[in-house]
Every structure is written in C-alpha cells, then in structure tokens.
Amino acid sequence: RQRTFNGYVFKGAKLSSTLWRAWFVAFGKTDVAKLSENLIKEKIANTKDERDTQHLKLPEAGAVLALAEHCGNKRITTLLERHNAESHKGKSGVPDLFLYAVHTATGRTSIARFVEVKKPGEPVSAEQKIELSLLNDLGFHARVFRLIER
C-alpha cells in the first residue's frame, strides 16, 4: 500500500547487496547529486557490461539520484570506502530497500528510509546490524521491518 502525504510522492527501490561496489564502478567518487537523471542513465548504461561481469547491480537512475540527493557526497564516500575496501570483500549488509518521498513543488528527495525486511523469526545478520548502525550513525533512518504473515 503506497503512503500518501499532501505535497509528496512516495517511491522506493530495491537495493542490491552490491550497491556501493556498483556505484563506485559507475560513478567513482563523483558527486552524483550534481548530475542530471539523463547523465546518470548514460553512466549506468555505459558501465553495464563491466558491472554485469562482476554481478554488480544498481537501481534505476531516478532512485540513484534520490539516493545521491538524500545521502550527500560526503556520506556516500564513507559508504563507498567501507564497501570497496579489501577487508569488506565478500560482505554486504546493504538494506533491502530505499524508500523515499519527493516533494512535488521542488522535485527534490526530502524524506527517506533504509529498510531491511525480515520474515518473522528470521535473524538479522551481524553484518546487517553493523550496516544499519553505521547508516544511523551517519544520520540516516535505517530500520528492520518484520513481515506479518497472515
């Protein structure tokens, strides 16, 4: 069920466990929030083959732009350094979803959440706990949502 709030459009994107490695391949340390959505699409398309060979996935360009606007380049750089470090190889912890709201008047991302989705009783891994803690320490809203089975 999509949430409604006057003046906002709510959206979301599924995040790959390889998000920040794929981001680095596509954009390096470029401040993506300063790019147009079309240029982001172009960079995603131009790095598709390289990312595919490494099984690195990015969300669509609009969600990438929303992430960049919400996170800011400094905090993205922190995440890029963590996820692309040799010591982090084979680990992830990236939450399942990025949910956000776009202000209808400005077109800018203004409300956002990182969400890890779990079944009832499914444990949160140590790496996921570390990632959620880091995201919260960086000033984001990152949570675990548990599904309720009917």
Nearest to 55 by CA among 98, 17, 24: 17
Q: What is the mean pLDDT of residues 99-120?
A: 92
Task: Read off the pLDDT band of 149 (50, 70, 90).
Answer: confident
Q: Which amino acid is at 112?
A: A
Single pTM value for the model: 0.90
3-state secondary structure of 25: helix
Dist CA 140 CA 150 (whole Å): 31
Task: Read off the pLDDT band of 6 (50, 70, 90).
Answer: confident
